[in-house]
Amino acid sequence: MDIRTGVVVLALFAAIAAFLSFRGAVKNMQTARKLSFYSLRKRHNAMAWRLVFFAFVLVGVAFWLPTGGEQMIYQVFPPSATPSLTPTITLTPTITLSPTITLTPSLTTTPLVSDTPTLTPTPFLPVAIEALFSGPVTPNPDAVFTAIQFSTQFDGTNTVDPKTVFELPIQTMYGGFDYNNTTPGVQWTALWFRNGELICYETEPWREEWGTGGIGGYTECSEPIGGWIAGQYEVQIFMGYDWKVVGRFVVMDSLTPAVTPTGTPDLTITTSPTSTP
């Protein structure tokens, strides 16, 4: 804050104080009128006149500060010179010669197929699934899951003959995984999608008997919405609201395509005449 600003602020404070002093004087006079004792009334009137006098003094100070007060302060605290900025040298651009010969651009081949990357959205829990939660949703941040292995058979510990491509018909699909640093009681969820649509799910608190780490964890789907049909399938696993791992597999109508022979046989037999002795 510079001296000029400080003087203006002091003048403003003096004006406010004068208003408050004058207001106090008016209140004292009004109080004195209601008093029946002469000595008390006289005392309040004297105090009111003092406040009026003090208000006039403050008004005078408020008018004096921006003029004479500021000059007096400058005599005690002389202002220091403010250095002015030295203008920088501006270079004058030189004339640039334009070439007279213009080369004709050659033809540029345009690729027929352009690989445009598609955005892969981060997996998230649907609101309808969140409404089914019955356990806490704050998992251990260090909880990890291995890649999901898919199979139509599960021996209680591991998936049997895991694959990524399957052939119809399918009764039950298993997704096996190993885990570590899990917290019993925390809600976990497995979502099954077909071509981006939710077809199967399971969500429950992590059981005590599963422990905080081990092998043989799995999720299963027996009756998906619409049944098992050909398409792209995806399984997402969450701990609480945190997405942990995703796995994908493909279901096809038939893995052995039928081969139909086509073409016309080009073997031609021609009989030649025989000679008679």
Are 43 and 139 part of one and the same domain?
no
E strand or H helix at 29: helix 3-34
Token pair for 80: 């220091």
Nearest to 159 by CA among 144, 178, 145: 178
Copy the structure tokens of residue 238: 């969450």
pLDDT at position 62 is: 78
Q: What is the CATH number of the domain that holds 247?
A: 2.60.40.2550
Sheet of strand 187-194, all strands in order from the earlier edge strand to the far edge: 165-167, 242-252, 231-239, 187-194, 197-205
Whether 113 maps to a domain, the answer reads no
For residue 146, how many C-alpha atoms fall within 13 Å in the half-sphere facing its CB?
15
Contact between 145 and 245 (Cβ < 8 Å): yes
C-alpha to C-alpha distance for 174 and 200, rounded to whole angstroms: 12
70 assigned to some structural domain? yes
- Residue 102 covered by a domain: no
Question: Does residue 248 sit in the same domain as residue 142?
Answer: yes
Pair of tokens at residue 228: 């098992």
Per-residue pLDDT tens over the stretch 80-126: 655 556 556 566 655 565 655 555 555 555 544 444 544 457 888 99
Same domain as 147, residue 55? no
CA dist., res. 114 & res. 107, Å (int): 19
Reduce the DSSP state of residue 248 to 3 states and report it.
strand
* Number of Cβ atoms within 10 Å of the Cβ of 237: 22
pLDDT tens by residue, 34-89: 777 777 878 878 888 888 888 888 888 877 777 776 667 766 666 665 555 655 65
Give the domain range for residue 13: 3-76
Q: Which residue has the tokens 């139509």?
A: 152
What letters, b where the CB count within 10 A reaches 16 and e where it falls short, cover 43-71?
ebbebbeebbebbeebbebbeebeeebbe
**Structural domain includes residue 156:** yes
Helix H or strand E segment including 181 = none
pLDDT value of residue 100: 58
* Most confidently predicted of 113-117, 129-133, 269-273: 129-133
The answer to whether residue 270 sits within a structural domain is no
Considering the domain architecture, whether residues 52 and 134 belong to the same structural domain is answered as: no
**34, 60, 76: which is the final residue of a domain?**
76
Contact assessment for residue 156 and residue 197, using Cβ atoms and an 8 Å cutoff: no
Flag whether pLDDT at 275 surpasses 50.
no
Considering its fold, how many domains does the chain have in total?
2
pLDDT at 144: 94
Q: Is position 268 within any domain?
A: no
